[in-house]
Amino acid sequence: MRVLLSLTFVVLATSAIADIGASADSVKEKYGAMAEIKGVPTSYAFRSDDLMVEFVFTPSVSRINVFFLKTPQDTPEALLERFSGRSGWKRRPLDDPEFGRQFPDHRATDSGNRFYLADEVYALVKPDSGGAKLMLLIQTSDFLRYLNELRKNKKMAQPGIRANAGTRP
């Protein structure tokens, strides 16, 4: 009986996971109602009692942020595989230049941070971050291009900065 209940939970939990690269329709089908994240275009969040998952679409899922409100029992590699849809996660050192490039807003010196890579998908695992017991940041390089574009557009929208500055008519 116990095995059956555990198997049922695994099947239900697995069916509720959207992969990196999934379409918006696919994510909405798996998660149901999601709320738009204000201030971040094409971003949506799903929340349950002990989990919050955020998705950024560019146009497919290029970033998944997972916040565990309770400490999960699975290994970081198993969690990354479950939430990203990618297998073969390998831990990389925090002094890997790709860590700084992929996660420029996070410090390698923060205690407990772990950096992972699987098939050109990158992940940062952070324990006790904010109100979360564990946080996963999973992204593709498409997310970095999207983030840089947002920052560039925001800078261009500031008063006194013209979009065509430096070009002649």
Percent of the chain exceeding pLDDT 70 equals 82
Given a cut of 80, whether residue 156 has pLDDT beyond it is no
Mean pLDDT within 18-39: 83
- Would you give the distance in Å from CA 125 to the centre of its chain? 10
Most confident of 3-17, 69-83, 152-166: 69-83
Give bridge partners of residue 56 from the DSSP assignment: 43, 63
Quickly state the pLDDT bin for 166 (edges 50, 70, 90).
very low
Domain ranges of the chain: 2-157
SS3 165: coil
Q: List the alpha helices (DSSP H) in 32-91.
A: 76-84
- Share the mean pLDDT of the chain: 80
Quickly state the pLDDT bin for 111 (edges 50, 70, 90).
confident
Question: What pTM does this model have?
Answer: 0.77
